[in-house]
Amino acid sequence: MSNVYLYCYSPSMFHFLRTKGIRYICVGINEKTGGRFWLFAKDDAVKRALDEYDASK
């Protein structure tokens, strides 16, 4: 079930996904680290964008 969602802890990845027009479900705070994360549905558009993000590094 964990493959259904993308927990994005990277601000640069978050901004990249947003520039692709991908909307997040919610934003939260990691209880252990205090860091912010964004939750995305891991659909085909997100998977393609992640491939593009990885290739750009």
Please say if the pLDDT value at position 17 is more than 80.
yes
- Kindly state the average pLDDT of the residues 2-10: 91
pLDDT of residue 1: 54
CA distance 31 to 6: 17
CA distance 21 to 3: 21
Please write the tens of the pLDDT for every residue from 32-48.
999 999 999 999 999 99
Q: What is the dihedral of CA 10, 15, 21, 23, to 10 degrees?
A: 50
pLDDT of residue 44: 96
Measured in whole angstroms, how far is the alpha carbon of residue 27 from the centre of its chain?
10
Q: Which residues form the domain of 37?
A: 2-55
Taking the whole predicted model, whether its pTM rises above 0.85 is answered as yes
pLDDT of residue 57: 83
Total number of domains constituting the chain:
1
